[in-house]
Amino acid sequence: MSGRRHCDELLSVLAVMERGLRAPLEGISQAHLNHVFAPNKMTIGQTAVHTMAWPRYFLSEEKPWEVVEWTCRPCEYPLATAFVSAVIDDGVDAIRETLERINDAGLEARPDGMKGPGYIICRVLLHTMVHANQMSYLRQLLGPDWKFGRHFGDMATAYIRVSYHTEPPQSGVRGF
């Protein structure tokens, strides 16, 4: 498929964001995954689910579930690491499947004239970077010896270097 420069670039950024999101979950205990830091604040596990449930929800033709508070999708508590990992897999797959199915022209506008998936994907990638860093901060509070490494810098650099940018609202493409 021709005209895939931006799609391939976003796939590359997705891989960096996924590594950064998974880093705070590596070797995490069940207690730390579900630790409540303060009333009305998400746990590390809820943050991970929240982060990667949205891509599947927004990139699906038919909504796969009714949105619930905190995590976007229904969950059973306490969260299990296997469930959290499966939600991350599903969210990454939703983005990857979308980017592999279209070319650069399909990023901007859908056939019905509404804003295309490029806008959603760019927002979700930024959302992932923000929450991965939030999760790493919380993980360091629970285990001061745990280190996030270079993941923040890697994610920020990848996102800053993206040459694809969605069109501004005045472009006439509906959906903002």
161-175 pLDDT, tens digit per residue, is: 998 877 655 555 544
Judged on CB neighbours under 10 Å (0-12, 13-18, 19+), 150 is exposed
- What is the reported pLDDT for 1? 55
At 91, list the tokens: 């969210």
Domain residues for the domain of 83 are 5-171
Residue closest to 143 by CA, chosen among 135, 152, 132, 151? 135
The count of domains in the chain is 1
**Per the domain annotation, does 176 fall within a domain?**
no
**Per the domain annotation, does 14 fall within a domain?**
yes
At 159, list the tokens: 């996102």
pLDDT one-digit tens code per residue, 90-147 = 999 999 999 999 999 888 877 777 778 998 999 999 999 999 999 999 999 999 899 8
d(CA 36, CA 99) in angstroms, rounded, equals 36
pLDDT one-digit tens code per residue, 36-80 = 999 999 999 999 999 999 999 999 989 999 999 999 999 999 999
